[in-house]
Amino acid sequence: MHSEDPEECWQSFCQVDAGFPQRFAAHRYFRGQGWLPKLGSKYGVDFLLYQATEEAPHTHAVQCAVVLPEGGVPWLDVHRYHRLAVQVGKGLVIATVQAAPESAVGWRDVVAAMGVRAISLRRWGPGGGE
């Protein structure tokens, strides 16, 4: 189905992927923080975060980002994601997305009602560094 109506596209994407709204909200959040999020499936994460500027438009990803639903995050999962990030030489950002209330109608209202919180994890050692 090809549609130029944003609402129809939103509905189609949500039908195909139930996690789409959360990742979309996180993507917008990261963009608002100055990051350039790109697809992170190569590393088993939701996004790779780049700090591209006009002076250096092609940089290496600095962070791996994982988008998780609000609520309890199993520590074993956090450990797995962190270990993966360390192995590929990147930091880890975990973003949790608060679901929009049922009263939110339309993609703009849904995304605006979603709250995103992000924390950055990095390895710590006795020497104070990595």
User: How many domains does the chain fold into?
Assistant: 1
Residue 44 lies in a domain: yes
Q: Evaluate whether residue 37 is within a structural domain.
A: yes
108: left (phi over 0), alpha (psi -120 to 50) or beta: alpha
Domain that holds residue 85: 6-121
Question: What phi-psi label fits residue 44: left (phi over 0), alpha (psi between -120 and 50 degrees) or beta?
Answer: left
Q: What is the pLDDT of residues 96-122, one digit of tens each?
A: 998 888 777 788 888 888 889 999 987
Residue 79 maps to a domain: yes
In a domain, 107, yes or no: yes
pLDDT at 59: 75
The answer as to whether 93 is a domain residue is yes
Give pLDDT, residue 125: 63
10 Å CB burial of residue 124 (0-12, 13-18, 19+) is: exposed
Residue 29 in domain? yes
* Residue 77: φ, ψ to 5°: -65, -40
pLDDT in tens, 25-52: 999 999 999 999 999 998 899 999 998 6
Confidence band (pLDDT; 50, 70, 90) for 23?
A: very high
Average pLDDT over every residue of 48-69: 81
